[in-house]
Amino acid sequence: MKKKLLAITLCTALSVGTLTGCGGSAVKKLADTAKEISEQSDATSTPNAPTATPAPKETTLAMNKAGKVGDWTFTVKKLATKKTIKTSKYMEAKASDGNLLVLATVSVTNNGKKEATFLPRVGMENTMITAKLIYKDNFEYQPSSITGYDKDIAAKSIDPLSKKSGIVAFDVPKKVAKDLKSCKIRIGTKDEAVIYTAK
Protein backbone atom coordinates (compact mmCIF):
# COMPACT_ATOMS: atom_id res chain seq x y z
CA MET A 1 0.00 0.00 0.00
CA LYS A 2 2.87 2.35 0.90
CA LYS A 3 4.62 1.54 -2.40
CA LYS A 4 1.49 2.41 -4.38
CA LEU A 5 1.07 5.65 -2.48
CA LEU A 6 4.69 6.63 -3.07
CA ALA A 7 4.45 5.77 -6.75
CA ILE A 8 1.33 7.91 -7.14
CA THR A 9 2.97 10.77 -5.22
CA LEU A 10 6.09 10.50 -7.38
CA CYS A 11 4.12 10.46 -10.62
CA THR A 12 2.05 13.45 -9.51
CA ALA A 13 5.18 15.37 -8.54
CA LEU A 14 6.85 14.58 -11.86
CA SER A 15 3.74 15.65 -13.77
CA VAL A 16 3.48 18.89 -11.82
CA GLY A 17 7.21 19.49 -12.36
CA THR A 18 6.81 19.01 -16.08
CA LEU A 19 3.75 21.28 -16.31
CA THR A 20 5.30 24.06 -14.27
CA GLY A 21 8.58 23.88 -16.11
CA CYS A 22 10.78 22.74 -13.20
CA GLY A 23 14.33 21.97 -14.11
CA GLY A 24 15.55 18.40 -14.56
CA SER A 25 17.71 18.53 -11.43
CA ALA A 26 14.70 19.36 -9.21
CA VAL A 27 12.71 16.46 -10.64
CA LYS A 28 15.69 14.09 -10.22
CA LYS A 29 16.11 15.21 -6.60
CA LEU A 30 12.43 14.57 -5.94
CA ALA A 31 12.66 11.10 -7.54
CA ASP A 32 15.73 10.19 -5.43
CA THR A 33 13.94 11.27 -2.24
CA ALA A 34 10.88 9.18 -3.12
CA LYS A 35 13.09 6.14 -3.83
CA GLU A 36 14.89 6.52 -0.50
CA ILE A 37 11.58 6.73 1.40
CA SER A 38 10.34 3.64 -0.43
CA GLU A 39 13.45 1.61 0.51
CA GLN A 40 13.16 2.65 4.18
CA SER A 41 9.51 1.68 4.13
CA ASP A 42 10.38 -1.78 2.76
CA ALA A 43 12.99 -2.30 5.48
CA THR A 44 10.60 -1.44 8.30
CA SER A 45 7.34 -2.89 7.00
CA THR A 46 8.58 -6.47 6.63
CA PRO A 47 10.03 -7.44 10.02
CA ASN A 48 11.43 -10.92 10.48
CA ALA A 49 8.58 -13.35 11.10
CA PRO A 50 8.77 -14.99 14.54
CA THR A 51 9.99 -18.58 14.45
CA ALA A 52 7.61 -21.19 15.83
CA THR A 53 8.70 -22.97 19.01
CA PRO A 54 8.96 -26.69 18.26
CA ALA A 55 6.63 -28.96 20.22
CA PRO A 56 8.33 -31.19 22.80
CA LYS A 57 9.15 -34.72 21.72
CA GLU A 58 6.86 -36.91 23.84
CA THR A 59 6.58 -40.70 23.83
CA THR A 60 3.50 -42.37 25.33
CA LEU A 61 4.03 -45.68 27.15
CA ALA A 62 1.97 -48.09 29.22
CA MET A 63 2.95 -48.87 32.79
CA ASN A 64 5.93 -51.23 33.21
CA LYS A 65 7.54 -50.16 29.93
CA ALA A 66 11.03 -48.64 30.01
CA GLY A 67 11.39 -45.06 28.84
CA LYS A 68 14.57 -43.08 28.16
CA VAL A 69 15.41 -39.38 28.27
CA GLY A 70 19.03 -38.23 28.12
CA ASP A 71 21.18 -40.35 30.44
CA TRP A 72 18.17 -41.72 32.32
CA THR A 73 16.23 -44.93 31.78
CA PHE A 74 13.13 -45.30 33.96
CA THR A 75 9.93 -47.28 34.37
CA VAL A 76 6.73 -46.27 36.13
CA LYS A 77 5.45 -49.56 37.52
CA LYS A 78 2.15 -48.54 39.10
CA LEU A 79 0.07 -45.79 40.70
CA ALA A 80 -1.55 -46.14 44.10
CA THR A 81 -3.62 -43.92 46.36
CA LYS A 82 -2.90 -43.51 50.09
CA LYS A 83 -4.13 -41.31 52.92
CA THR A 84 -0.85 -41.57 54.81
CA ILE A 85 2.67 -42.98 54.38
CA LYS A 86 4.55 -44.52 57.28
CA THR A 87 7.97 -42.86 57.13
CA SER A 88 9.42 -44.63 60.18
CA LYS A 89 8.33 -46.78 63.10
CA TYR A 90 6.67 -43.83 64.84
CA MET A 91 6.23 -41.21 62.11
CA GLU A 92 3.93 -40.84 59.14
CA ALA A 93 3.32 -38.34 56.36
CA LYS A 94 -0.13 -37.45 55.17
CA ALA A 95 -1.71 -35.40 52.41
CA SER A 96 -2.82 -31.85 53.03
CA ASP A 97 -6.42 -31.25 54.19
CA GLY A 98 -9.00 -32.58 51.74
CA ASN A 99 -6.34 -34.29 49.58
CA LEU A 100 -4.90 -37.76 49.07
CA LEU A 101 -1.46 -38.97 48.03
CA VAL A 102 -0.94 -40.58 44.64
CA LEU A 103 2.22 -42.68 44.73
CA ALA A 104 4.04 -43.56 41.52
CA THR A 105 6.40 -46.52 41.95
CA VAL A 106 9.43 -45.86 39.75
CA SER A 107 12.71 -47.63 38.94
CA VAL A 108 15.55 -45.48 37.57
CA THR A 109 18.96 -46.15 36.01
CA ASN A 110 21.65 -43.50 35.55
CA ASN A 111 23.41 -44.30 32.24
CA GLY A 112 25.65 -41.24 32.48
CA LYS A 113 29.36 -41.12 33.24
CA LYS A 114 28.98 -39.34 36.59
CA GLU A 115 26.71 -39.18 39.61
CA ALA A 116 23.50 -37.26 38.92
CA THR A 117 20.29 -36.30 40.69
CA PHE A 118 16.98 -37.70 39.52
CA LEU A 119 14.13 -35.16 39.72
CA PRO A 120 16.26 -32.38 41.24
CA ARG A 121 14.48 -29.57 43.10
CA VAL A 122 16.30 -26.90 41.06
CA GLY A 123 18.17 -26.85 37.75
CA MET A 124 18.22 -25.68 34.15
CA GLU A 125 14.72 -25.89 32.66
CA ASN A 126 15.90 -27.39 29.36
CA THR A 127 18.07 -30.12 30.89
CA MET A 128 16.71 -31.08 34.32
CA ILE A 129 14.47 -34.12 34.59
CA THR A 130 11.10 -33.31 36.14
CA ALA A 131 7.94 -35.27 36.87
CA LYS A 132 4.32 -34.22 36.99
CA LEU A 133 0.96 -35.87 37.34
CA ILE A 134 -1.49 -34.74 34.66
CA TYR A 135 -5.22 -35.14 35.23
CA LYS A 136 -7.56 -35.19 32.22
CA ASP A 137 -4.87 -33.50 30.10
CA ASN A 138 -5.61 -30.16 31.80
CA PHE A 139 -4.52 -30.16 35.45
CA GLU A 140 -0.89 -30.60 36.53
CA TYR A 141 0.57 -31.50 39.92
CA GLN A 142 4.22 -31.40 40.99
CA PRO A 143 5.84 -34.03 43.24
CA SER A 144 5.64 -33.51 46.99
CA SER A 145 8.72 -33.85 49.16
CA ILE A 146 8.23 -36.36 51.97
CA THR A 147 10.71 -35.56 54.72
CA GLY A 148 12.42 -38.54 56.28
CA TYR A 149 11.00 -41.08 53.82
CA ASP A 150 13.87 -43.09 52.38
CA LYS A 151 11.72 -44.55 49.58
CA ASP A 152 11.13 -41.08 48.10
CA ILE A 153 13.21 -41.17 44.90
CA ALA A 154 12.80 -37.48 44.03
CA ALA A 155 16.05 -35.50 44.43
CA LYS A 156 18.05 -38.72 44.96
CA SER A 157 21.65 -38.89 43.75
CA ILE A 158 22.38 -41.98 41.70
CA ASP A 159 25.85 -43.24 40.78
CA PRO A 160 26.70 -43.91 37.12
CA LEU A 161 25.38 -47.23 35.81
CA SER A 162 23.43 -47.70 39.05
CA LYS A 163 19.74 -48.40 39.50
CA LYS A 164 17.36 -47.30 42.26
CA SER A 165 13.68 -47.87 42.91
CA GLY A 166 11.28 -45.83 44.98
CA ILE A 167 8.21 -43.65 44.87
CA VAL A 168 7.30 -40.21 43.64
CA ALA A 169 4.43 -38.75 45.69
CA PHE A 170 1.81 -36.28 44.49
CA ASP A 171 -0.50 -34.45 46.92
CA VAL A 172 -3.73 -34.08 44.93
CA PRO A 173 -7.47 -33.48 45.46
CA LYS A 174 -9.52 -36.58 46.32
CA LYS A 175 -11.37 -36.30 43.01
CA VAL A 176 -8.08 -36.76 41.14
CA ALA A 177 -6.74 -39.52 43.40
CA LYS A 178 -9.95 -41.54 43.00
CA ASP A 179 -9.84 -41.31 39.20
CA LEU A 180 -6.40 -42.73 38.38
CA LYS A 181 -7.58 -43.90 34.95
CA SER A 182 -7.72 -40.23 33.94
CA CYS A 183 -4.17 -39.59 35.17
CA LYS A 184 -0.84 -39.59 33.36
CA ILE A 185 2.71 -39.27 34.64
CA ARG A 186 5.11 -37.17 32.56
CA ILE A 187 8.84 -37.64 33.20
CA GLY A 188 11.47 -35.78 31.23
CA THR A 189 12.77 -32.36 30.26
CA LYS A 190 10.95 -29.41 28.74
CA ASP A 191 11.86 -30.62 25.23
CA GLU A 192 11.69 -34.41 25.59
CA ALA A 193 9.61 -36.64 27.85
CA VAL A 194 7.88 -39.96 28.37
CA ILE A 195 4.20 -40.00 29.32
CA TYR A 196 2.84 -43.01 31.19
CA THR A 197 -0.88 -43.64 31.01
CA ALA A 198 -2.63 -45.24 33.95
CA LYS A 199 -5.18 -47.05 31.77
Residue by residue, pLDDT tens for the chain (199 residues) are: 444 444 444 444 444 444 444 455 655 665 566 566 656 655 555 556 667 778 889 999 999 999 999 999 999 999 999 999 998 888 899 999 999 999 999 999 999 999 999 999 888 877 899 999 999 999 999 999 887 788 999 999 999 999 999 999 999 999 999 999 999 999 999 999 999 998 7
Residue 135's contacts (CB-CB under 8 Å, 6 or more residues apart) are 141, 172, 176, 179, 182, 183
Of 187, 177, 191, 166, nearest in space to 65 by CA:
187
Give the number of residues written for the chain: 199
Give me the DSSP letters along 44-60.
Answer: HHSPPPPPPPPPPEEEE
Yes or no: say if 110 and 161 are a contact pair by the CB < 8 Å rule: yes
pLDDT in the model for residue 56 = 84
